[in-house]
Amino acid sequence: MSLMTLLPFIVLIGAMFLMTRSAKKKQQAAAQMRDHMTPGTGVRTIGGMYATVKEIGDDTVTLEVAPGVHAIYAKNAIGAVLEDAEYNRIVHGVTDEAETDTPVVPDDASSLTEAPKTDLTKDEDEAPKLDLGKKDEPKDDEPKDDEPKDDEPKDGKADGEAGAK
């Protein structure tokens, strides 16, 4: 056999090895995350439900999904173990006041070095806007509004109207 016939098989085996290795790392990280659960910890299930851990068994976890309501879940059903601050923010709507007191930092330094503009709606070198509401004066060859046009009949009646000739 030549090297060219074996090359696709070698590449395929290498790709399979890399994929299984990354999947194994993800499984180990998830198992380690589940091992850090303690009673009182906030969790999110793989179904998206937020609950508090009450008891931890070998393969199961007892979760308090509402005050006084307990449910038993498999450990594999825990999607994420949340920190207390994040759990309280999501479930109870509690936010830390320290986060709102932080100063606002601009995206770029230009706003710190330039002088503030007085009129923020237009730049200094911007041309004035055109007023599209004005009507131009009629040209000499066009009739004025009070004069009848050439294609209009003199009596003010158009074709198809009652009394038209």
Instruction: Please tell me the predicted confidence (pLDDT) of residue 53.
Output: 93
Q: Which residues pair with 74 in a beta bridge?
A: 60
| pLDDT tens-digit map of 31-72 | 888 877 889 989 999 999 999 999 998 889 999 999 999 999
More confident residue, 122 or 24: 24
100 pLDDT higher than 60? no
* Residue 56 tokens, joined: 């931890």
Q: List CB contacts of 34: < 8 A, sequence separation 6 or more.
A: 75, 76, 78, 81
Mean pLDDT of 108-137: 63
Contact (Cβ atoms closer than 8 angstroms) between residue 37 and residue 56: yes
Instruction: Please tell me the predicted confidence (pLDDT) of residue 88.
Output: 86
152 pLDDT higher than 80? no
